[in-house]
Chains A and B, each alone.
Chain A
Amino acid sequence: NAGVMQNPRHLVRRRGQEARLRCSPMKGHSHVYWYRQLPEEGLKFMVYLQKENIIDESGMPKERFSAEFPKEGPSILRIQQVVRGDSAAYFCASSSEKQGYTNEKLFFGSGTQLSVL
């Protein structure tokens, strides 16, 4: 039973390019979360999605960042016109649904390390 799969593991982009980060949740999980982690800041919530819906994007910058979780295929976090400050580890997590509520337990992928030159 595969866990949360993220790719690529490492992504190098030059300033101004686009970065696309992919996440396939655990089988049976319909809730996906994206987090950003910097060594001195800890994990920061970015966006929460269910299939075809963005539920909460309050942690995501309004410009240049977007996320989707289509009916078929992985969730995508897209960063347009990357800047050096976007360099970080981006983690995807998924959870199942329990009795109509989100199961609090999160399963994380191994992350994508984005480096902007």
Chain B
Amino acid sequence: SQKIEQNSEALNIQEGKTATLTCNYTNYSPAYLQWYRQDPGRGPVFLLLIRENEKEKRKERLKVTFDTTLKQSLFHITASQPADSATYLCALGGNAGNNRKLIWGLGTSLAVNP
């Protein structure tokens, strides 16, 4: 069955360092992959989308890579700040223009220490 895995253990890093979060998947060929941020008691907030034919996407301090051979996406936050502390979710979409069947990871909790 389709499976998506994110680092289950919380990630603790020092302010200013680069945080790297991993999203691995099996038995699936996504058309695109999304990363969201979720704060306690709030809904997820969209960060980045990368398509199957794209290797890398950047937005300010964020960078996402997508390796369809390894079936893995890496999410990097450079020059991390305490305000980046949150849970980060990855979601896989099977068809372009169709987000009904998004498959969600459980998320990785990131804590950036001042």
Contact = CB atoms under 8 A, between A and B. Distances in A.
Interface of A: 4, 6, 33, 40-45, 48, 55-56, 91, 93, 95, 98, 100-111, 113
Q: Taking chain B's interface residues, is the majority helix, strand, or loop, or is none over half, making it mixed?
A: loop
10 contacts: A4-B43, A42-B104, A42-B107, A43-B102, A43-B104, A101-B97, A104-B34, A106-B44, A110-B42, A110-B43
A101 B89 contact: no
A110 B43 CA distance: 5
A108 B44 contact: yes
B32 interface: yes
Contacts of A45: 100-102
B97 A91 contact: no
Given A93-B43, A110-B42, A110-B43, A43 B89 contact: yes
Contacts of B105: 42
B41 interface: yes
A33 B100 contact: yes
Contacts of B106: 40-42
A55 B42 CA distance: 26
Contacts of A44: 104
Shortest 7 CB-CB contacts between residues of A and residues of B? A101-B97, A108-B43, A43-B104, A42-B106, A42-B104, A48-B100, A104-B99
Given A106-B34, A110-B42, A111-B43, 13 more contacts: A41-B106, A42-B107, A43-B89, A43-B91, A91-B43, A91-B44, A98-B97, A100-B97, A101-B96, A103-B97, A104-B93, A107-B46, A108-B45
A108 B91 CA distance: 14
A59 B66 CA distance: 28
Interface in B88-114: 89, 91, 93, 96-102, 104-107
B74 interface: no
B49 interface: yes
A31 B44 CA distance: 17
